[in-house]
Structure 1
């Protein structure tokens, strides 16, 4: 059972991505949806919160993003590593990944996109149009318009990972993931 809590955007949204986890990015446009794994997403600004996403022009997801102007960064847990590898290893051109991998029908709260159920956190994003940057560098700047997290793993503006299953993951290639380690605080 998910224990999702909406976050104050300016105070917490950037902290969801600060530790560099692998994300599942979801898109939808014109009745077509897709999910892909991405490690190249990062926070950019605080108020309003903004993120960066690198998305190559040749991907199946690129026209969905350009058509809708929105996407969701879903932060999978260690329990979802197999799913993350699977959706990152095939193209939405060839298969409906939601159907193939049994991903539920959950919806984002603000933007028009699906979400991957049971992730640890979600950042719903609207693209800020910068055509030159998007075309030349495949880089999208987006404002976070909603953010929510599983309060078992993120509360009080901090990750606290109560057990091995409720940790975000980092992908290093070749099917190898690392769970986020134990936190320590100096202040």
Structure 2
């Protein structure tokens, strides 16, 4: 075995939780988008997901105040927009306009869906007990939308420091779960 010590500050890249998503929020008629890769599924029905949003992020304040958002799942086709959105602040930039994305009204929340994304999850904050200590929101998915024309979405997975993996061919293995 040729293992060596690994910097703790880089561990997150080893445990990447899933596809990079674009979180849309809206407050007082102003929509915003942030790039997020810190999320995890927590329950199946109702679907619950947990996510970490930095308290320095404009979306943090909006999500805390409105208690709702849309988690949009982009594919490789939006890679440049995903990175650009993650590298600017919604406090000073209209990210929908700057990155050529289309806001679509949601059915359950005020935040918009992003038309160009493969899937969109309308969410409401279900639990805030971990927000003050860890910036960890627990969201309940109220409505899910998916583009059925996309058969094998090439989602982006952040590995750290500008490195992404792209989901490839699906592999089916026999499962005992029903």
TM-score interval w.r.t. the shorter chain?
0.7 to 0.9
8 Å contact from structure 2 (residues 123, 140) kept in 1: yes
2:121 aligned with 1:123? yes
Offset at 1:84? 0.3
Match of 1:62 among 49, 60, 63: 60
Q: Name the larger-Rg structure.
A: 2
Residue of structure 1 in register with 2:7 after alignment = none
Task: Give the TM-score of the pair, scaled to structure 1.
Answer: 0.79
* Greater RCO, 1 or 2 (C-alpha within 8 Å, sep 6+): 1
Residue of structure 2 in register with 1:51 after alignment = 49
Give me the whole-angstrom Cα distance separating, in 1, the residues matched to 2:87 and 2:28.
24
Gap runs ≥5 in structure 2: 1-16
Paired residues, number: 158
Which consecutive aligned stretches of 4+ in structure 1 deviate over 3 angstroms post-superposition? Answer: none
Task: Give the TM-score of the pair, scaled to structure 2.
Answer: 0.83
Instruction: Trace 1:2-17 onto structure 2 (pairs within 5 A).
Output: none
Give me the whole-angstrom Cα distance separating, in 2, the residues matched to 1:70 and 1:57.
16
Gap runs ≥5 in structure 1: 1-18, 154-159
Give me the whole-angstrom Cα distance separating, in 2, the residues matched to 1:118 and 1:109.
17
Offset at 1:98? 1.2
Residue of structure 1 in register with 2:93 after alignment = 95
RMSD, matched Cα:
1.5
Give me the whole-angstrom Cα distance separating, in 2, the residues matched to 1:92 and 1:27.
10
Residue of structure 2 in register with 1:12 after alignment = none
Deviations along 1:51-82, one digit per CA (max 9) or x if unpaired, are 11111112111111012110111000110001
Match of 1:136 among 129, 133, 138: 133
Where 1:65 maps in the other structure, the secondary structure is: helix
Residue of structure 1 in register with 2:158 after alignment = 171
